[in-house]
Structure 1
Amino acid sequence: MMFRFAFTLFVVMLAHGALAKEPKLVWFTEDYPPFNYHVNGQVEGISIKALKLIYQDLGWKFDDNEVMLLPWPRAYQMTLSNRNACIFSMTYTEERAKLFQFIGPTMDNHVAIIGHKETSYKLSNLKNIGNLKIGVVKNDIGHQLLRQAGIDKESLVFLASGFELVQMLKLKRIDLIAYGDVIARYQFKRAGINPKHYRIVMPLSSSYLGFACNKAVDQHVVDKMNDALKTIKRRQPEIFDPEYFYSKAE
């Protein structure tokens, strides 16, 4: 009887160890340069490079086919509804920490309301929005921060991506956008728009970006990935710098 119990315990521990060693995770992401974006059928950027290094350091096999680039609202919901799913790059908030397990930080992320330099918008607080229309991506951190602040849905214009946000801002179809400052600057660049013509009208939040997994993903897997990420950041801090990344990509 004791032998049978010991054998059963060994099998359970072996199965748990195998899970931690080679987890079968599905990764969702969006077009969010310079952290993750689509080039010639592949997802590239700072975050995907960091993710591959995490797998490499842990001795796990990385499968590019298990990374799916989707519009952010769909990627967000797919991660919430799939037990083995993770998403990147996600800005950490206390609200999101109740829904996901975070791996990070990878790098800082400053979210702001951004507008054209020629405009005279002055927002001392979000109650001064008035009739201005703010472009957001649904469930993106900019949208969630405005929602938490009680901004009416009628003041928001929902667009599919940051690339559409900067295009609509240039065309003056919207007055402002709520988005990550670093990401917005690179979206302006991709759209052929000079980012120097735009300014931060009002800061919204300073947090960090990272990877986030469904709450059902094994905690041991998340812990191991966090430990690996810390090691990589100490070893290769330069790869988490957007300016360094683009200097190498150009």
Structure 2
Amino acid sequence: MKLNRANLFIMLSIFFMCPASAVQPKINWYTEDYPPFNYMHEGQIEGISIKVLRAMYKQLDWTFDEEDILLMPWARVYKTLEDSPNACVFSITYTEERARQFNFIGPMIHNTVSLIGHKESDYSDVDLKNIPGLKVGVVKNDIGHQLLVKEGFHEYQFVYLKTGYELVRMLKLKRVDLIAYGDVIARFQFSRAHIDPNNYKIIAPLYQSFLGMACNKAVDDEVIKTLNQTLVEVLKEYPSLATWHEEGVQ
């Protein structure tokens, strides 16, 4: 068909009026057991973060494939994020060090990482890293572990566990003196383990930041920009996220 100027003008007008859709990249998503944000329930990954991610894909008109999401222990998740060029993770706490290593998508929700212990514990005004025999439960390469290493805690003080659920169980059994973990997530883990969270308290806050998503540096910057812009829009549908941090361990 021969195009005259009028037809060409109409076709170009239609083309520029239609919003451009970002081409869906190949991303492999990884996560851990971190309720209420991401966790396994009856064989399916559920939680606040996965709902947000699904909504982001829907808004971008991307196909969301559950097969592209793998739940693993955090140490493996973190190692995969470091090594795999197509890897992205949720949820992860933002730090300046991590921001230099990965491309962040967020903020999604406020997060406070704390040292948590028994209510009767008295560690006030004490240099915890120099207490002989003190044992702190951590998930390897979790933000709590990384913060304590940075503060000078000794390797022999750490008891490595795979999940937050194991942390609260070990704390109840007094196999560890303290745990380093997000206080909101700890409260949910206490509940899952049928442990009364009112018997525990924050010994010392370690870090205030936010939870978000992060990708390997090899993921294209335009993809990160698109995901960040979409997250801002999607979070308008989840105003309750702004108050989650108020429900942590007291």
Structure 2 length-normalised TM: 0.86
Query: 2:105 aligns to what?
Result: 103
Partner of 2:8: none
Q: Report the residue type matching 2:235 in the other structure.
A: K
Q: In 1, Cα distance between the equivalents of 2:102 and 2:223?
A: 14
What CA distance in whole angstroms lies between the structure 2 residues aligned with 1:95 and 1:180? 18
Shift of 1:127: 4.2
Question: What corresponds to 2:205 in structure 1?
Answer: 203
Q: State the 4+ residue runs in structure 1 displaced beyond 6 angstroms.
A: none
Which residue does the alignment assign to 2:80? 78
1:237 corresponds in structure 2 to: 239
Q: How far is the alpha carbon of 1:24 from its aligned partner?
A: 1.1
Deviation at 1:131, TM superposition (A): 2.5
Shift of the alpha carbon at 1:130?
Answer: 3.8
Q: Is the 8 A contact 1:20 1:218 kept in 2?
A: no
User: What pairs up with 1:1-250 in 2 under 5 angstroms?
Assistant: 20-238=22-240, 242=244
Q: Secondary structure at the match of 1:21?
A: coil
The verdict on how the C-alpha distance between 1:58 and 1:169 changes in structure 2, with shifts beyond 3 A counting, is: same
Distance 1:187 1:123, change over 3 A: farther
Q: Give the TM-score normalised by the residue count of structure 1.
A: 0.86
Alpha-carbon contact 1:145-1:204 (below 8 Å) kept: yes
Taking structure 1 as reference, are residues 215 and 55 closer, same or farther at Cα in structure 2, changes over 3 Å only? same
**Equivalent residue letter for 1:97:** A
Moved more, 157-166 or 127-136: 127-136
Kindly report the root-mean-square deviation, in angstroms, between the aligned alpha carbons of the 2 structures. Answer: 1.7
Percentage of matched positions with identical amino acids: 55
Q: What residue number does 1:248 align with?
A: none
How many residues are matched?
226
Q: Deviation of residue 19 (structure 1)? A: 10
Secondary structure of 2:190 counterpart? helix
Return 5+ residue gaps in structure 1 as ranges.
1-17, 244-250
Q: What is the rounded CA distance, in whole Å, between the counterparts of 2:127 and 2:98 in structure 1?
A: 23
The amino acid that maps onto 2:226 is: K
Greater Rg over alpha carbons, structure? 2
